[in-house]
Structure 1
Amino acid sequence: MKNPARKLPVRMSAGRQGASPQQVIRCAAMLGGTLTAFIGCRRGGLLGSLLAGIGIAIFSDSAKQHAVTARKASLAGRQNRTVHLESSVNINRPPEDVYAFWKDFVRLPEVMSFVDDIKATDTGYTHWVAKGPLGTSVEWFSEVVEDEPGKRLIWRSLNGSDIDNWGNVAFHQDAGSGTNLIVNLNFEPLGGVAGSAVGHFLEGIENSVLTENLLQLKTYLETGEIPTSQS
């Protein structure tokens, strides 16, 4: 991965598109196959059976191609969607302790199931590695852009990353000595270059995953033990 440079995330939206020429051709072929099979069945005899067989073959082949195209389009849609995660948890530890754990980003993979590894760099950035399919990975560099000790952390990805992302964490003291931790995470594929690894990564993260991870963090900070059920 290239050396990171500063970059602000840019939101992108895709407009509606009409049917492509290939889609029109496939639909016409499916209709033609259906009509040919119908005529063959109505005609009967050897020629009718031949026509019916040809019509069924045309329809089946066109339907398979349509299914493959639809699956690719669905995957592309997942790969290019912006994912926003937000969750919170109350932790029976003072804000300073919760902040100290989170500020040490390299420890987050201990409780974050969708992050494999985080390393600090000599330039003050952090290098994140997330899981992809078949041994692939999604990687990005991040920098802290706002740091209020014990209160708030805001970070964002840098140029050269596989995916744009930014997040913020707020540490609010509750009525006692505990902390209400509020986490916001955002992931946005780079326009037109999202690969299967990025799509796989985005497909596997949602609010329920973040909530489960924050509960693991709560258990760890309150008991000193990480739940063995983490996946």
Structure 2
Amino acid sequence: MLESIKNKLSDTLKSPMLNQPANANVNMPERIISLVIGALITYQGVKQIIKHPAIALQEAVIGGYLLYRGATGVCPIYSSLGKDSTDTPAISIYERIIVDKPREEVFSFWRKLENLPRFMKHLASVEEQSETLSHWKANLPGEILKLSWNAEITREEENSYIGWQSVEGSMIDNAGKVEFKDALNGMGTELLIEISYFPPAGSLGQGIAKLLNNLFEDMIRKDITNFKHYVEGEEYQTFINSSSFVEKMQNTFKKATD
């Protein structure tokens, strides 16, 4: 039954019915979370309807309320408080790390966007569709739901800078940039990383939403930190010895010397 609920949720999220009406006071990411959590709470209530009917009824009311706000984009509580969450601020993360690898090599690895899920656990996959366009899939905390969006490279400077952002109409607004510099000691590469997301959890109350937002932000920070451990570890060394990466590096150095 739980799998059936997940499938129905997936179909609903892809449906044109999930548009943002004029009177909406709940943003799209928060609506998605409302649908997911509402469905799960309702499912828990149905399972307990015989043994614990009072609890089941309580969960059905809560689940139904969340499903309503997710399906309609309207929160009666927000309306009574005059609150509008359709302009939720983004999660913005800034990190500076130094890795013990040459700048050209680090840039080439990062520029191949399909490599990102190798160390970014909040990403399920990145599929490059052209030189500038790519399709991203991300896992929400707990792998409750997978979301996807298209992004494009907005600025690129060979071995120095990569900037990207989600294309218009994407389910998630995402943007990022990475600057690559030679480390001051002449050994390794300094990376200045900035990644922004409009949080999938929005501001769904002060309990569940805060938990999900914090988890999602922590995941991204750990992913960035994990890059240093990954790129200086054995798994990375095995990967760069593969023919595809060696060929990519050879092409990069050839361009630099032409």
Per the TM superposition, whether the score is higher than 0.5 is yes
- For the 8 Å contact 2:126–2:136, the answer to whether it is kept is yes
Aligned to 1:225: 235
Matched ranges for 1:73-88 at <5 A: 80-88=88-96
Aligned to 2:99: 91
Aligned to 1:58: none
Secondary structure of the corresponding residue to residue 136 of structure 2: strand
- For the 8 Å contact 1:88–1:214, the answer to whether it is kept is no
Look up the equivalent residue of 2:119 and give its one-letter code. Answer: V
Size of the aligned set, in residue pairs, is: 157
- Aligned mates of 1:129, 1:148 — CA distance in 2: 25
Matched ranges for 1:100-115 at <5 A: 100-115=108-123
Quote the sequence identity (%): 22
Match for residue 151 of structure 1 among 138, 160, 167 = 160
Look up the equivalent residue of 1:182 and give its one-letter code. Answer: L
Match for residue 139 of structure 1 among 133, 136, 148 = 148
Look up the equivalent residue of 2:216 and give its one-letter code. Answer: I
Secondary structure of the corresponding residue to residue 204 of structure 1: helix
- Aligned mates of 1:201, 1:79 — CA distance in 2: 18
* 1:182 equivalenced with 2:192 (yes/no): yes
Cα offset, 1:130, TM superposition: 0.7
Secondary structure of the corresponding residue to residue 232 of structure 2: helix
- Aligned mates of 1:173, 1:116 — CA distance in 2: 30
Cα offset, 1:152, TM superposition: 0.6
Cα offset, 1:109, TM superposition: 0.7
Relative to 1, partners in 2 of residues 1:161 and 1:123: Cα closer, same or farther, differing over 3 Å? farther
Secondary structure of the corresponding residue to residue 205 of structure 1: helix
- Aligned mates of 1:93, 1:126 — CA distance in 2: 26
Aligned to 1:128: 136
* 1:170 equivalenced with 2:173 (yes/no): no
Cα offset, 1:93, TM superposition: 0.7
Cα offset, 1:89, TM superposition: 1.0
The root-mean-square deviation of aligned C-alpha atoms, in Å, is: 3.9
Secondary structure of the corresponding residue to residue 125 of structure 2: strand
- Aligned mates of 1:180, 1:173 — CA distance in 2: 6
- For the 8 Å contact 1:131–1:201, the answer to whether it is kept is no
- Aligned mates of 2:212, 2:153 — CA distance in 1: 23
Matched ranges for 1:187-226 at <5 A: 187-188=197-198, 202-206=213-217, 208-225=218-235
Cα offset, 1:215, TM superposition: 3.1
- Aligned mates of 2:213, 2:89 — CA distance in 1: 8
Q: Deviations over 1:15-41 (max 9, x none)?
A: xxxxxxxxxxxxxxxxxxxxxxxxxxx
Relative to 1, partners in 2 of residues 1:148 and 1:201: Cα closer, same or farther, differing over 3 Å? farther
- Aligned mates of 1:113, 1:128 — CA distance in 2: 13
- For the 8 Å contact 1:130–1:201, the answer to whether it is kept is no
Cα offset, 1:122, TM superposition: 4.5
Cα offset, 1:176, TM superposition: 1.6
Larger Rg: 1
Cα offset, 1:166, TM superposition: 1.1
Segments of structure 2 that go 5 or more residues without pairing to the other structure are: 1-12, 15-24, 26-57, 67-74, 79-83, 237-258
Aligned to 1:38: none
Match for residue 127 of structure 2 among 119, 125, 150 = 119
Relative to 1, partners in 2 of residues 1:78 and 1:179: Cα closer, same or farther, differing over 3 Å? farther
Cα offset, 1:137, TM superposition: 1.6
Relative to 1, partners in 2 of residues 1:201 and 1:107: Cα closer, same or farther, differing over 3 Å? farther
- Aligned mates of 1:115, 1:78 — CA distance in 2: 25
Q: Deviations over 1:39-62 (max 9, x none)?
A: xxxxxxxxxxxxxxxxxxxxxx9x
Q: Deviations over 1:121-168 (max 9, x none)?
A: 157411111113664222111111111111110111102311112111
Matched ranges for 1:53-64 at <5 A: none
Aligned to 1:229: none
- Aligned mates of 2:155, 2:180 — CA distance in 1: 14
